[in-house]
Amino acid sequence: MGRNEKDCPNAHRRRRKGAVLAIVFVSVVTIVGAAESNLTEAKVQKAQKMDSDYVDMENKGCETMELNPLRKEEYPEITEAVREYYKQQEEEASFVDSYEDITVYTKQGIYRGTYVVFARYDMKIKEIYTKVPGLGTLYIVENEADGYQVNAAVEDEKVKDYIQVIAQHRDVQALMDETQSLYQEAVGSDALLKEALSDLKNAYEGSGM
């Protein structure tokens, strides 16, 4: 798919006032944050360079939900790149068996050729039967040489602020609420899962990360 040169798609939806929600909101996502944010220094520098390339090509109006609705599985190439990303996470996270049922929800990024992805998944922890619903936030940059660059960390402060703004959109909040409910249901149904998540949380906090 070529670089998107169109303005954000129109949609007639109302905005909802509410408290600012964190991008990563369920504890399991915080626990695995270290595993999902293992961007090397070289990749960070590359992402920053890509960001600067788009500074004069902003998507006007994309901070509003009406002009930038959440789109489910809209871009096959992005979906494939995100699933490849989580496949790599499976290999690198010692406590994860698999990320399953990955669904990709996309909003236009602040710059043309960039996207913010909210990826819903079920994480299978090793030796635990019940899967953990989670929601990851990724920043995608379309690049002619490399295709779609998937970043779990963003250094550009303007991009960070933009992601915080669109996280307040009613459609994103609804997705977060749904995932939070599924997460609580899963943890409440399996004592072993609850214990495993507590152990992982303690290990994460003890690492100083």
Cα pseudo-dihedral 41, 133, 20, 205, rounded to 10: -50
CB 18 within 8 A of CB 166: no
- Write 41-44 long-range contacts (CB < 8 A, 24+): 43/151, 44/153, 44/155
Question: For the chain, which residues make up each domain, given as ranges?
Answer: 45-206
145-154 burial code (b ≥16 CB/10 A, e <16): eeebbbbbeb
pTM: 0.73
Residues recorded for the chain:
209
pLDDT in tens, the chain (209 residues): 444 434 444 333 333 333 233 333 333 443 344 333 333 344 444 444 444 444 458 999 999 999 999 999 999 999 999 999 999 999 998 899 999 999 999 999 999 999 999 999 999 999 999 999 999 999 999 987 879 999 999 999 999 999 999 999 999 999 999 999 999 999 999 999 999 999 888 877 876 55
Q: Which residues on adjacent β-strands are paired with residue 96? A: 125
Residue 186 to residue 193: CA distance in whole angstroms: 8
Copy the structure tokens of residue 5. 């040169």
What is the sign, positive or negative, of the torsion defined by CA atoms of 142, 145, 151, 153?
negative
